[in-house]
Amino acid sequence: MSSTLTAIIAQFLLSLLLLVVSVLTDDASTIPTQNMSHKERAELREESRDMFYHAYNAYMANAYPADELMPLSCKGRYRGVTPSRGDMDDILGNFSMTLVDTLDTLVLLGDFAEFEHAVKLVIRDVQFDSDIIVSVFETNIRMVGGLLSAHILAEYLQKQADVMHWYKGEMLEMARELGYRLLPAFNTTTGIPHARVNLRLGMKDPQLKKSRETCTACAGTILLEFAALSRLTGDPIFEVRAHAAMDALWKLRHRGSDLMGTVLNVHSGDWVRRDSGVGAGIDSYYEYLFKSYVLLGDDKYLARFNRHYNAVMKYVSEGPMLLDVLMHRPHAKSRNFMDSLLAFWPGLQVLSGDLKPAVQTHEMLYQVMQMHTLIPEAWTVDFQIHWGQHHLRPEFIESTYFLYRATGDHHYLQVGKRALKTLQQYAKVSCGYAAVNDVRTGKHEDRMDSFVLSETFKYLFLLFSEPQDLIINVDEFVFTTEAHLLPLSIAQLGNSTFSFRQSDEHNVLDFMRTCPSSNKLFPEKVRKPLRNFITGSCPRSTSGKRLSALDFQASNADHLRAVYDMGITMVSVGDRSQGKVRLFHSFYNAKSQEEGEMGLQFMQEMLELTKMQSMNQLAQLQAVAYALDDQSQDWTALMAGPSHFSPELVGEQFVEGHIVWARPPRACDEKLLNAENVSGKILVAERGDCTFVSKARLAQKAGAAALIVCDNVAGSSGETQPMFAMSGDGTDDVAIPVVFMYSLEFAKLSDAMQRRPQLRVRLMQMVEFKRWQLAKEAHQNETAAAAAAAVASASASASASASEAATMTTMPKKKPDKEL
């Protein structure tokens, strides 16, 4: 199939989907109330325009040519000048990022004069020859994508609006130059790019020598921009490298589950983090698989997307919720919270034709927004705040826009209105819009990311716009993950030096997940059962089958309502972000006597299950044990977690030795400064700056008998958090035991180290330490009993002799009981 024909078919299918859904919405019985008038919609469109210019003008007046505006300080954020925020500043390159990222939004708003002025500024002021390390992913989607979209729209305006005749493709050349500066990151054994690159030195920067890890989304969100760059310039190298990276990622999927992890080693291809979901670290990888098929017409990307999509809906999807699992154990949840980046997923589901789950997940997200005013950065399975920040992200508004385009349901206009008014009330400041540091307090953060102008306000404007309000037909474009516009006609610019090969790794089943039968689907019918999903107050139909404790899932809304009907209430314990709850049962709260009895049985099962889980967790725990003082025979033990890459101490195995701090404390350099003092001892290193296994290899190289890694998060404790199990990089070359200690437990060990410089500790299994202590106590009790028996026997003999002597001498005084 030619790329041109495929692009035309893809555009036709999308139009057909919109047509089918619009016909289905003509059912008068299902038309929702609260339709928005044309007047109100036009007012909201203009308000979104005003929001854009309030932020844009603040940036241009107070921050340009900086990369970002700091809205509270009302000044620009420059790399190397403004105080560093650590890795977060890797998005900055001192290349006027906000302006470049915003160019195509100006065209959508119809502001040709300002667009022309901004393009001239970019051509005049922006340069890339800087000794700065930047994120490959962010630089690609914001800068390369921004330049390409602006170039395409500049040429479009030359033809359609008869303006900018002076423009000769300068921004395309700038995109090509920047692309070449990113290419050194692709020089890896796998073809998967490094996460960062120096704009001037490539990978020769000394700070990048230890560069090994990248995220799945970072490596898999390159192809749209690089393919467009190759096809517009005629230089195939960009598209070739991007295809190779996507092929390498596909080979790393788990063959049993078809899931991907989130962090991997670019040299070995080994997974570093095996969590699999649709949020941070992996989100736009799925997006680019599907959109690469739409833009380029290569069937293999549709097949790959379908395989991943089916796996996500099988293992990650829990009704409207999406909870991370382990890619190699997909029935095991890897965390108890969701992050805000997954809000893009319903929009992608709309594009792929799966409307029902898109409506469901969007409704869940909307209820989270209603509950907390703004969608927090992350929330737990019981919808409590996990991370409280709100960075004015666009993903929820993006999905709202695509759902409205697909259904015509005015509910989504009302959702957009609420989102707009909330931003106006809680994020608007005199100098732009400020991120919210905590949605519970409303405190602002001195931060306005470029995506606020590039995406958030763009999707709000598009949501409230009619097709005739726009100067371009957006259906002829693909939106990148940064909402930049790439025309479907790019498929016609075939790259003659790069041929697509049909892979025999896909079969016909990979292409069978097409637009499902909607069965007169209207979003209101799907939303109605979820109307009180978070509050749990909507009625439940009983299934007749008793819910067992073993089957219970706290993330399942039906299960939560079932235990509520049984008279069981759940109360959060400690920090809500940990998701720990305590169960209480009362017959008075049960829906019926029968349900009350079922609740009592459920509680008994839960007690037994908790005991079993406690024993399993105890069996995995490691112990760091030491004597209370140099003369004492009494020992204490602090809990520690095991690692997946080192020998685990089980049974009677233990390692004992003096303890010594690593120098430098985080043990991430090529050599320890105190290596001569480490041999045969137990080394302590702080978490951070490099991987756990890197610290272990350095300790092993120095001759350490074992390694203790202490947490760098103040106040963390194994009493309130799940025990941490350290993961490796897939290479099993660590032969010494390695354990992890949270901060509060390590503080006790640190105190003992300061009081006793020659402290000896013993690493062993916690359950074995408990047995050892019990055996010591039993031995002491036996010894004490034997001693008491001996004393009693001696006392009896003495009494008999005294009786015989009493006839000759006076009876001696009896010893006081307390002396005995």
pLDDT tens for residues 447-461?
999 999 999 999 999
pLDDT tier, 523 (very low <50, low <70, confident <90, very high otherwise): confident
H runs (alpha helix) in 385-474 = 395-407, 411-426, 451, 457-463
Mean pLDDT value across residues 167-192: 97
> 303 versus 534: which is more confidently predicted?
303
CA pair distance 468, 464, nearest whole angstrom: 12
Cβ count within 10 A of residue 201: 16
Is a pLDDT exceeding 80 seen at residue 248? yes
At 385, is the secondary structure helix, strand, or coil? strand
377 is catalytic: yes
What b-and-e string marks burial along 350-384, b requiring 16 or more CB atoms within 10 Å of the CB?
A: bbbbbbebbbbbbbbbbbbbebbbbbbbbbbbbbb
Higher-pLDDT residue of 422 and 621 is 422
Active site (annotated) includes residue 648: no
The residue assigned the tokens 């666009």 is 394
636 is in an annotated binding site: no
Q: Scan for tokens 């972000």, then name that residue.
A: 577
Active site residue 782: no
The model's confidence at residue 815, banded by pLDDT at 50, 70 and 90, is very low
Give yes or no for residue 580 having a pLDDT over 80: no
Q: Which residue has the tokens 């062993």?
A: 764
Given 67, 138, 398, 409, the catalytic residue: 138
- Model confidence pLDDT, tens digit, residues 50-62: 999 999 999 999 9
Distances (CA, A) of 131 to 97, 117, 181, 364: 16, 28, 11, 45
Classified as helix, coil or strand, 265 is: strand
Higher pLDDT, 370 or 731: 370
Q: In this structure, are residues 641 and 622 in contact, taking their beta carbons and an 8 Å threshold?
A: yes
Left (φ > 0), alpha (ψ -120 to 50) or beta: where does 108 sit?
A: alpha
The answer on pLDDT for 133 being more than 70 is: yes
CA 220 vs CA 19, 35, 244: distances in Å: 32, 40, 10
Q: How many Å apart are CA 232 and CA 241, to the nearest integer?
A: 16
Average pLDDT, the chain: 84
Q: What does the alpha-carbon distance between residue 168 and residue 151 come to, in Å, rounded to a whole number?
A: 9
The pLDDT confidence band at residue 516, using thresholds 50, 70 and 90, is very low
Residues 158 and 156: their CA atoms lie apart, in Å, by 5
Nearest to 445 by CA among 388, 398, 373: 388
Q: How confident is the model at residue 83 (pLDDT cuts 50, 70, 90)?
A: very high
Average pLDDT over residues 378-389: 94
- Rounded CA-CA distance 626/634 in Å is 9
Q: What CA–CA distance (Å, rounded) separates 459 from 445?
A: 23
176-183 mean pLDDT? 98
595 annotated active-site: no
Q: Exactly one of 283, 354, 449, 745 is catalytic; which is it? A: 283
How much is the average pLDDT of 379-396?
A: 95
The structure's pTM equals: 0.64
Task: Summarize pLDDT for 284-323 with one digit per residue, the tens.
Answer: 999 999 999 999 999 999 999 999 999 999 999 998 999 9
For residue 597, CA distances in Å to 485, 546, 591, 610 come to 60, 11, 11, 20
* DSSP three-state, residue 494: coil
Residue 543 CA: distances (Å) to CA of 236, 322, 475, 537, 592: 59, 24, 45, 18, 15
Do residues 658 and 682 lie in contact, with contact meaning Cβ atoms separated by under 8 Å?
yes
Helix, coil or strand: residue 333: strand
- What gap in Å lies between CA 420 and CA 527, rounded to an integer? 22
In the chain, what is the straight-line distance between the N-terminal and C-terminal CA atoms, in Å? 100
For residues 526 and 355, give the distance between their C-alpha atoms in angstroms, rounded to a whole number.
10
Quick one: which of 142, 153, 141 has its CA closest to 223? 141
Q: Indicate the pLDDT class of residue 240, thresholds 50, 70 and 90.
A: very high
Among 24-33, 481-490, 545-554, whose mean pLDDT is lowest?
24-33
Residue 145's Cβ-count burial label (10 Å; 0-12, 13-18, 19+) is buried
